[in-house]
Amino acid sequence: MREDDGVQRNNLITSSEWAVVRLAGFGPGNGAAQNSVWRSERGRGMECAAKGSGTPCSGAAARLCARCEAVAYCSLSHQIAHWTHHKHECDRLQQQMKNLEFVNDFPFTFSREATFQVCAKQETRCSFLSKRGLHQLGMWMLECHCGASSSFDCLGLNRGWDLPSVLCPCCGPDSLVSEQLRSWRDYYMWRCIPLDSPVALLLHWPLTIYHAAQLVGVTTLNPEVSDKLHIHYLGPEKELLQLAVFGELLALFPGVNIHIELVGPAIPPQRDGEKIHIYKYPCCNEDGCECKLAGGNTILGKQTGVTSALTLQLWQGFYHDRYRDVIEDSFPHLVIAPNGGIAAYSSWLPSIELIAKIDVPAVFTDYCEEACHLAASCIETVSQRPLRLSVQLNPFRQPMAVEDSVLLLPCYSNCFLFGM
């Protein structure tokens, strides 16, 4: 039996557990089969889909739409009142719910704990991190609600993995990327990391950039890229306390000088215009590891002679307001907006119009398929052109479910993506 076969068997969920999972949005099933477990646990974190539309809610949103099973209501009267709106999305949500098994499929030994158990409120992000000694530490600070008040004034530059070397990529890879990485399993195998390592919870940021670049053809094989890659990264928030993890791009784009312009209102005004140079990977927590030695934490270093460099520059404000400043030294090969919430914020409109005008590949991600669908519709309307990339599942989405999501659709950071 292969090691990964054992991993899959360890992650199997029993039929009785799936009965709860179905009601929590983690598998197909009959919405009428609601039970006390779902009412008391999952329902506690849900909002009535008709909330704010008229009369006050009468209680917990424990009444599923029996057709799509993606939204919940506090009462029959609210469900009836909301039908004039929901009827336009019900079929679409029903189709999205059919993809649950694919969306929730990860190769890790902790997959069940980080998906089903989080959604069923048997585990929390806090408990998951605490079991691994990572709660409220360094780059892991914002991976649960406890770090929500953390200040972006102190950016995550010199923070390490807070993990032993065997569980994290603290040094350069043994070999260059020979083939395109298509999954977390591919990446972990290339970097010789065991599937019980939680580093994917942070590495989804650089791996999503890598995947987006591959999808739109922005690779080292592209003559326009050659040895320099310019990326405009829009709307960073929690990433600002995890900047060290972007050092993994040095391994993913060997021999390339990468320039990333991080543009967004969350950047502290006093850091506006600041440049950050990254030449190494985040360190592990072992004092004797070569990542702590001078020259030990290099990018393939002496074996290949291939060197890379990563420069991050911070720009406070909206993209359309700062664009002229940003392009003085950096016209983009790629624009990316992770977890953009395009349809939810009207402030995106001028930036979308600008991106359409400059006509460079742009990739947007969001927490669920429906959010990407709504965002894609907005962008097609504004740009008056078809999408460059249709809405699709991101293989490098964060492998831990979002807690207390509004919809019963599975939600993960950087879950789905599309491009214009």
The pLDDT tens digits for 151-174 are 666 665 668 999 999 999 999 999
- pLDDT, residue 47, reads 84
Rounded Cα–Cα distance for residues 189 and 279 (Å): 23
The predicted model gives 394-419 an average pLDDT of: 92
Same domain, 190 and 329: yes
Q: What is the CATH number of the domain that holds 235?
A: 3.40.50
Find the DSSP H helices in 54-173: 76-86, 90-97, 100-103, 111-114, 116-119, 125-131
Characterize the bridge pairing of strands 416-419 and 362-366: antiparallel
Q: Is residue 16 part of a domain?
A: no
pTM of the predicted model over 0.95 = no
- pLDDT, residue 21, reads 42
Rounded Cα–Cα distance for residues 288 and 283 (Å): 11
Same domain, 71 and 194: no
Rounded Cα–Cα distance for residues 24 and 18 (Å): 9
- pLDDT, residue 155, reads 62
Same domain, 160 and 85: no
Assign 249 a pLDDT band (cuts: 50, 70, 90): very high
Examine the pLDDT at 281 and tell me if it is beyond 50: yes
- pLDDT, residue 179, reads 81
Domain boundary pick from 77, 97, 117: 97
Q: Is residue 343 part of a domain?
A: yes
Structure tokens at 289: 């590891």
Q: Is residue 104 part of a domain?
A: no
Examine the pLDDT at 27 and tell me if it is beyond 70: no
Same domain, 286 and 408: yes
Examine the pLDDT at 103 and tell me if it is beyond 60: yes
- Overall domain count for the chain: 2
Q: Is residue 124 part of a domain?
A: no
Assign 24 a pLDDT band (cuts: 50, 70, 90): very low
Q: Is residue 251 part of a domain?
A: yes
Assign 34 a pLDDT band (cuts: 50, 70, 90): very low
The predicted model gives 180-204 an average pLDDT of: 98
397 in Cβ contact with 354 (< 8 Å): no
The predicted model gives 311-325 an average pLDDT of: 97
- For 232-259, b/e burial (b = at least 16 CB within 10 A) is bbbbbebbbbbbbbbbbbbbbbbbbbbb
Output the DSSP codes for 124-153: -HHHHHHHTT-TT-GGGGGGSGGGTT--TT
> Which of 14-23, 74-83, 187-196, 237-246 has the weakest average pLDDT?
14-23
The rounded percent of the chain whose pLDDT value lies above 90 is: 66
The predicted model gives 401-416 an average pLDDT of: 89
Neighbours of 206 (CB within 10 A): 23
- pLDDT, residue 77, reads 93
Residue 317's beta-bridge partner residues?
Answer: none
Assign 36 a pLDDT band (cuts: 50, 70, 90): very low
391 in Cβ contact with 376 (< 8 Å): yes
Structure tokens at 359: 């006509």
407 in Cβ contact with 370 (< 8 Å): yes
- pLDDT, residue 405, reads 76
Same domain, 271 and 401: yes
Same domain, 335 and 251: yes
The predicted model gives 69-74 an average pLDDT of: 90
Q: Position of tokens 């320039």? A: 259
- pLDDT, residue 219, reads 76
Q: Is residue 181 part of a domain?
A: yes
The predicted model gives 48-52 an average pLDDT of: 88
The predicted model gives 106-115 an average pLDDT of: 96
- pLDDT, residue 121, reads 86
Q: Please report the sign of the dihedral spanned by the C-alpha atoms of residue 225, residue 226, residue 230, residue 233.
A: positive
Structure tokens at 121: 């409120």
Nearest Cα to Cα of residue 362 among 342, 344, 346, 347: 342
405 in Cβ contact with 370 (< 8 Å): no
Same domain, 375 and 276: yes
Q: Which residue has the higher pLDDT, 246 or 404?
A: 246
Same domain, 302 and 224: yes
Residue 393's beta-bridge partner residues?
Answer: 416
23 in Cβ contact with 119 (< 8 Å): no
Q: Is residue 180 part of a domain?
A: yes
pLDDT tens, residue by residue, 333-361: 999 999 999 999 999 999 999 999 999 99
Q: Please report the sign of the dihedral spanned by the C-alpha atoms of residue 153, residue 156, residue 158, residue 163.
A: positive
Same domain, 50 and 159: no
Same domain, 239 and 169: yes
The residue segments making up the domain with residue 304 are 149-419
* AA identity, residue 293: L
Q: Which residue has the higher pLDDT, 223 or 134?
A: 134
Same domain, 162 and 83: no
Rounded Cα–Cα distance for residues 363 and 391 (Å): 10
Assign 301 a pLDDT band (cuts: 50, 70, 90): very low
Examine the pLDDT at 305 and tell me if it is beyond 70: no
Nearest Cα to Cα of residue 75 among 90, 62, 89, 88: 62
Domain boundary pick from 97, 115, 135: 97
Averaged confidence pLDDT in the chain = 85
- pLDDT, residue 410, reads 87
Same domain, 158 and 46: no
